């Protein structure tokens, strides 16, 4: 195979990713985005910019011609423009089976609404809620006590009819409960059953997620119509596949953040993966909805005063403005505050320490390309607040949307896709070294020595600050860090030094090496004035002038 075209469709944009062989090796030839969900216009723009024909008589050219026109493989990746609604009905919300169902719902391309029921739940109330939500899917999970299900089944049965017609219902419950649900609802609803006693939780989640994602891909295929590629892959599956490749090939422990349609946060380790998708947390056409739920979370990361009305006005302006319009310095600072709030929420929704601990790589999706490297790096350090075991986490940008494209293409030709991902997927933004422990504000937290070629420089970093070490393009850096007695590098013991040299020397990144000596959790003063001064000082530490705006 010589070449491939991946058409990536987001909520408010279309992108064409073209891959071809250069000197025999698969490489990224170009990534062309346009505003709006307009696949044909996106391909025409790619033809204009890249200087080769992709369409003939309005249809994709396949296979690739000797002149270079067309491509051997055509793949579409994305999600339906209108995401289906899933209603999760939890019968006894404290039951462990409900947690499994929640994880499955959060990893599917759906808008999730959860309805908790208990013995006092009115069937009429449940029927009214279903009529208002108009679910495409029902996910029923909970206790093995059939009596607890009776009012729930009565409510659902009364709602089903001309106005409420879900495509599918999935029951995650004991075999006896499944049989009772089938008796009550089977004539009016296509049902599937999953017995949690017969499978481990990961298998239950995989089965449910697979069903919902298959239906999402089918909706996208139907939306596009015939002729737009033999293979349509949902965006979550594509990004999971790319993350799994990075874990295997580069031995990384990854957090992947994608904001192209909703908020996707994915944690990938050698021993497994957790996917969290939030359709209602979108910085796109529905961004104004963030004002209702996230105003305070956004405001706490802005280094000047903004009222709720100011935030609403800004979000409304961004919603109406074309994505191609350049953002100014003030917009960039506010945008980074929005992204921090989205990442904070994602980290808070994941149980245990998986969200922060022992992360070695954070991969940021194309939305972060609107920010300068300093602000993109702060989104990670403030929003996710990673705490890597050995102290260092690398931050990279998928500016070309190649992770989704490569993950989708892997269904067609896995070796071809792997070669492209390995060479072209991620642009290194920063290496961040995280300090934790205890110290006094302004006291020396760590002393260090950096060697670039024959140049040696010593430095120190006070507690409560950030410090940047620039790396010349193409250079490698040897770095030694010696923390003070009460300070840890990552999760190492207090006072233990760390050295990056030889094979462990650090390579070039766009921003350089960032030493984060603020501790964990990142301290933000409660007083608005003090908080704004602190935020401005951190921006200045990273060389960003936005702290003095607007």
> With 0-12 CB in 10 A as exposed, 13-18 as middle and 19+ as buried, what is 7?
buried
Instruction: State the pTM of this model.
Output: 0.94
At 324 the pLDDT is 57
Of 442, 497, 433, 436, the residue nearest 464 (C-alpha): 442
What are 244-278's pLDDT values in tens digits?
999 998 888 999 999 999 999 999 999 889 999 99
Is a pLDDT exceeding 90 seen at residue 162? no
At 547 the pLDDT is 56
At 225 the pLDDT is 83
Based on its alpha-carbon atoms, the radius of gyration of the chain, rounded to whole angstroms, reads: 25
At 284 the pLDDT is 79
Q: Does domain 250-425 have CATH number 3.30.420?
A: yes
CA angle, residues 284, 289, 293, in degrees to nearest 5? 125
Instruction: Provide the percentage of residues in the chain whose pLDDT is more than 70.
Output: 97
What mean pLDDT comes out for the span 68-95? 94
Please give the structure tokens belonging to residue 79. 């999600």
What mean pLDDT comes out for the span 33-38? 92
At 3 the pLDDT is 95
Please give the structure tokens belonging to residue 323. 């994505």
319: confidence class by pLDDT, cuts 50, 70, 90: confident
Calculate the average pLDDT of the chain: 92
Q: Indicate the SS3 state at residue 232.
A: strand
351: confidence class by pLDDT, cuts 50, 70, 90: low
What are 506-549's pLDDT values in tens digits?
999 999 999 999 999 999 999 999 999 999 999 999 988 765 56
Please give the structure tokens belonging to residue 327. 């953002």
Is a pLDDT exceeding 60 seen at residue 96? yes
What mean pLDDT comes out for the span 466-495? 94
Q: Are 540 and 547 in contact (CB under 8 A)?
A: yes
What are 372-431's pLDDT values in tens digits?
999 999 999 999 999 998 899 999 999 999 999 999 999 888 999 999 999 999 999 999
> What residues does each domain of the chain span?
3-71, 85-213, 250-425, 429-519
Residues in Cβ contact with 57 at an 8 Å cutoff, skipping those fewer than 6 apart: none
List of E strands, 399-547: 427-437, 444-452, 455-462, 465-469, 478-483, 487-489, 498-500, 512-517
Q: Indicate the SS3 state at residue 104.
A: helix
Residues in Cβ contact with 15 at an 8 Å cutoff, skipping those fewer than 6 apart: 7, 8, 9, 31, 32, 33, 34, 42, 366, 401
At 246 the pLDDT is 93
Task: Give the integer Cα–Cα distance in Å for 38 and 227.
Answer: 15
At 522 the pLDDT is 94
Q: Are 192 and 170 in contact (CB under 8 A)?
A: yes
Q: Are 220 and 235 in contact (CB under 8 A)?
A: no
What mean pLDDT comes out for the span 465-491? 95
Please report the DSSP string for 319-369 in residue order.
Answer: HHS-TTSPP-HHHHHHHHHHHHHHHHHHHHHS-TTTTTBT--EEEE-GGGG
At 353 the pLDDT is 64
Please report the DSSP string for 381-400 in residue order.
Answer: IIII--B-TTSEEEEEE-TT
Cα 143 from chain centroid (whole Å): 32
What mean pLDDT comes out for the span 306-316? 93
Phi-psi sector, 378: left (phi>0), alpha (psi -120 to 50), beta: alpha
> Beta strand 59-60 with 55-56: parallel, antiparallel or unpaired?
antiparallel
Of 434, 264, 267, the residue nearest 355 (C-alpha): 267
At 428 the pLDDT is 97
What are 98-152's pLDDT values in tens digits?
999 999 999 999 999 999 999 899 999 999 999 999 999 999 999 999 999 999 9
Task: Give the integer Cα–Cα distance in Å for 73 and 399.
Answer: 22
What are 202-215's pLDDT values in tens digits?
999 999 999 999 99
Q: Are 532 and 304 in contact (CB under 8 A)?
A: yes
CATH number of 85-213: 3.40.50.360
Cis previous bond, 550, omega within 30: yes
Instruction: Provide the percentage of residues in the chain whose pLDDT is more than 90.
Output: 81
At 437 the pLDDT is 94
H-type helices in 228-289, by residue range?
A: 235-250
Give the HSE-up count for residue 66: Cα atoms under 13 Å, Cβ half-sphere. Answer: 0
């Amino acid at each position: 195979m010589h070449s491939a075209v991946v058409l990536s469709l987001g909520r408010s944009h279309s992108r064409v990713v073209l891959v071809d062989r250069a000197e025999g090796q698969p490489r990224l030839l170009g990534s062309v985005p346009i505003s709006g969900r307009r696949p044909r216009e996106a391909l025409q723009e790619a033809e204009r910019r890249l200087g080769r024909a992709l369409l003939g008589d309005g249809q994709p050219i396949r296979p690739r011609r000797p002149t270079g026109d067309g491509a051997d493989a055509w793949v579409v990746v994305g999600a339906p423009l209108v995401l289906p609604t899933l209603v999760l009905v939890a019968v006894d919300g404290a039951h462990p089976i409900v947690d499994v169902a929640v994880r499955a719902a959060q990893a599917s391309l759906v808008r999730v609404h959860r309805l908790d029921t208990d013995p006092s739940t009115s069937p009429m109330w449940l029927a009214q809620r279903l009529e208002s939500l108009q679910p495409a899917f029902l996910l029923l999970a909970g206790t093995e006590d059939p009596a607890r299900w009776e009012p729930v089944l009565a409510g659902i049965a009364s709602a089903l009819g001309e106005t409420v017609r879900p495509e599918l219902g999935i029951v995650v419950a004991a075999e006896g409960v499944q049989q009772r649900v089938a008796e009550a609802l089977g004539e009016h609803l296509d049902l599937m059953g999953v017995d949690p006693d017969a499978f481990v939780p990961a298998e239950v989640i995989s089965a449910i997620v697979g069903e919902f994602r298959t239906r999402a891909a089918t909706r996208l295929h139907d939306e596009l119509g015939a002729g737009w590629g033999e293979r349509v892959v949902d965006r979550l599956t594509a990004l999971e596949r790319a993350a799994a490749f990075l874990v295997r090939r580069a031995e990384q422990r990854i957090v992947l953040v994608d904001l192209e349609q909703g908020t996707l946060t994915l944690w990938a380790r050698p021993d497994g993966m957790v996917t969290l998708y939030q359709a209602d947390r979108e910085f796109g056409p529905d961004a104004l909805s963030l004002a209702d739920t996230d105003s305070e979370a956004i405001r706490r990361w802005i280094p000047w005063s903004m009222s709720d009305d100011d935030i609403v006005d800004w979000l409304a302006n961004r919603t109406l403005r074309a994505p191609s319009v350049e953002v100014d310095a003030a917009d960039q600072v506010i945008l980074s505050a929005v992204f921090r709030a989205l990442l904070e929420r994602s980290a808070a929704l994941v149980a245990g320490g998986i969200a922060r601990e022992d992360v070695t790589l954070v991969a940021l999706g194309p939305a972060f390309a609107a920010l300068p490297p300093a602000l993109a790096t702060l989104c990670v350090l403030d929003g996710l607040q990673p705490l890597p075991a050995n102290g260092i986490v690398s931050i990279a940008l998928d500016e070309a949307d190649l992770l989704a494209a490569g993950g989708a293409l892997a269904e067609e030709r896995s070796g071809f896709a792997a070669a492209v991902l390995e060479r072209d997927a991620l642009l290194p933004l920063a290496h961040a070294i995280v300090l934790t422990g205890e110290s006094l504000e302004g006291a020396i937290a760590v002393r260090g020595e950096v060697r670039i070629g024959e140049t040696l420089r010593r430095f120190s970093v006070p507690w409560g600050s950030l410090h940047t070490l620039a790396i010349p393009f193409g250079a490698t850096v040897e770095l030694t860090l010696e923390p003070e007695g009460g300070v840890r590098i990552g999760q190492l013991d207090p006072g233990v030094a760390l050295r990056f040299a030889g094979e462990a020397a650090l390579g070039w990144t766009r921003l350089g090496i960032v030493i984060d000596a603020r501790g964990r959790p990142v301290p933000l003063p409660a007083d608005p004035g003090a908080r704004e001064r602190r935020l401005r000082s951190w921006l200045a530490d990273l060389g960003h002038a936005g702290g003095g705006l607007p």
